[in-house]
């Protein structure tokens, strides 16, 4: 893909906390930068998820991207002392780069110059995002003392850093055959062509037992269960009962195939940040299991997102119920209700498509600060 921005060397740092979400965001960003002609070194302290999320990434088969092991002591491969200087540092979600790396890189910079150091922050629709996006944070200690780190906030409005979006996303979506995907995903299910399809990618939301109860006896429902915590939660709910044939367990898949599942389903249960954004691009009904925080701050974050989404009362109440913050489940999950919620998602998608994507904004931000 051609770009108006000069090729630079980027270091993207990912310290894994939730595994799938952290890796998902950092890999999407690395891919997007490489597609614009940038050279990316992706540093990770846990890389196993990339074996299925991005096959070949650990073996160096993705042009423009090199995956390297995070090592706080500086004795990883390659040694920090052999690294060429990079132009941009991205610390994802506030994970500061290793001090040995900072010291090694600082020795390569003239005294009056510095890399563009960016803290790629968490996604939120709260009002503080617009106020703090793009602000500087001078470093007062450590190997980076005297340099400046910049806050870059993803977001849902034009005054934020935007969302990750591939250039060919709508083209891929327009050419997708949902019925063909369903035939492959659950060929034995009676509701392959005419029923309601649900995808389940979650932690253990308080509302999950209600949903499973609704679907367990529904002859027209297919539930695509993702592996990991979602599958374990379903198994716990089933107990000694047999696994329903209309609840296929999906394999671990790469990011494009995860998108396809969201495109093919009528209601997507998503979690965290990365899959929320993908649900918005899918334009189907969804319910978001927001990452729970011990101080309850996630409830305000959820409310702010629902305000931006312009969620109708039944969808707002379902989100509250799903996340254990009050509210009630909807009277039903009929095809008509799911279609109404899908229209809400598509209206939000239209607003987002009118805004500049995160990668383009990030490249422009770096060009301004260099």
Which residues are part of the catalytic machinery?
22, 273
Name the pairing type of β-strands 88-92 and 116-120: parallel
Residues linked to residue 119 through DSSP beta bridges, in sequence order: 91, 151
At residue 244, the 3 state secondary structure works out as coil
Task: State the greatest distance between any 2 C-alpha atoms of the chain, in Å, as a whole number.
Answer: 69
Cβ contact 279:286 at 8 Å = yes
* Residue 66 CB burial class (10 angstroms; 0-12, 13-18, ≥19): middle
Candidates 159, 147, 68; CA nearest to 114 is 147
Cβ-based neighbours of 53, under 8 Å, separated by 6 or more: 20, 23, 24, 27, 252, 254, 255
| Integer Cα distance of 234 and 178 in angstroms | 25
- Neighbouring CB atoms inside 10 A of 204's CB total 14
| Integer Cα distance of 279 and 213 in angstroms | 23
| Integer Cα distance of 20 and 144 in angstroms | 29
């Amino acid at each position: 893909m051609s770009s108006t921005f000069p090729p630079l060397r980027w270091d993207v740092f990912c310290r894994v906390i939730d595994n799938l979400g952290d890796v998902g965001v950092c890999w999407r960003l690395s891919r997007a930068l490489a597609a614009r002609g940038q050279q990316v070194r992706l540093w990770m302290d846990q890389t196993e998820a990339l074996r299925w999320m991005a096959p070949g990434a650990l073996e160096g088969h993705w042009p423009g991207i090199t995956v390297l092991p995070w090592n706080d002591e500086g004795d990883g491969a390659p040694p920090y002392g052999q690294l060429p200087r990079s132009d941009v540092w991205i610390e994802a979600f506030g994970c500061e780069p290793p001090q040995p790396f900072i010291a090694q890189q600082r020795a390569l910079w003239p005294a009056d110059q510095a890399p563009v150091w960016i803290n790629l922050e968490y996604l939120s629709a709260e009002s503080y995002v617009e106020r703090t996006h793009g602000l500087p944070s001078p470093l007062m200690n450590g190997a980076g003392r005297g340099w400046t780190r910049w806050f870059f906030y993803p977001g849902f409005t034009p005054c934020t850093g935007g969302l990750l979006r591939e250039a060919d996303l709508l083209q891929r979506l327009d050419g997708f055959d949902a019925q063909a995907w369903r035939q492959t995903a659950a060929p034995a299910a009676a509701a392959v062509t005419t029923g309601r399809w649900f995808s389940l990618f979650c932690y253990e939301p308080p509302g999950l037992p209600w949903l499973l109860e609704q679907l367990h006896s529904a002859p027209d429902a297919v539930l695509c269960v993702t592996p990991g915590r979602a599958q374990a939660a379903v198994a716990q709910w089933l107990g000694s009962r047999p696994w329903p044939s209309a609840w296929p367990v999906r394999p671990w898949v790469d990011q494009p195939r995860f998108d396809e599942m969201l495109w093919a389903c009528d209601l997507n249960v998503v979690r965290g940040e990365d899959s929320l954004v993908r649900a918005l691009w899918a334009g189907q009904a969804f319910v978001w299991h927001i990452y729970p925080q011990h101080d309850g701050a996630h409830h305000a974050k959820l409310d702010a997102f629902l305000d931006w989404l312009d969620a109708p009362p039944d969808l707002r109440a379902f989100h509250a119920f799903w996340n254990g913050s009050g509210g009630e489940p909807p009277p039903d999950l009929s095809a008509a209700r799911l279609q109404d919620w899908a229209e809400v998602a598509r209206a939000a998608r239209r607003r987002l498509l009118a805004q500049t994507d995160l990668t383009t904004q990030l490249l422009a931000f770096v060009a301004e600060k260099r």
